[in-house]
A = this chain, B = another copy of it.
Amino acid sequence: MQRDVFAAIADPTRREIITMLASQPLNLNTVADKFDISRPAVAKHLKLLKECGLIDIEKRGRESFCSARLDGLKEVTDWTAKMRAFWTQKLDALEVFLENDQNTKQDKSYE
Contact = CB atoms under 8 A, between A and B. Distances in A.
A76 interface: yes
User: Chain A interface secondary structure, helix, strand, loop or mixed?
Assistant: helix
A108 interface: yes
Contacts of A110: 20, 24-26, 30, 34, 58, 65, 67
18 contacts: A6-B10, A6-B15, A7-B10, A10-B10, A20-B110, A23-B111, A24-B90, A27-B108, A65-B110, A67-B111, A68-B90, A69-B87, A70-B86, A73-B84, A74-B84, A77-B81, A77-B84, A80-B80
A16 B29 CA distance: 38
Nearest to A71: B84
Nearest to A21: B87
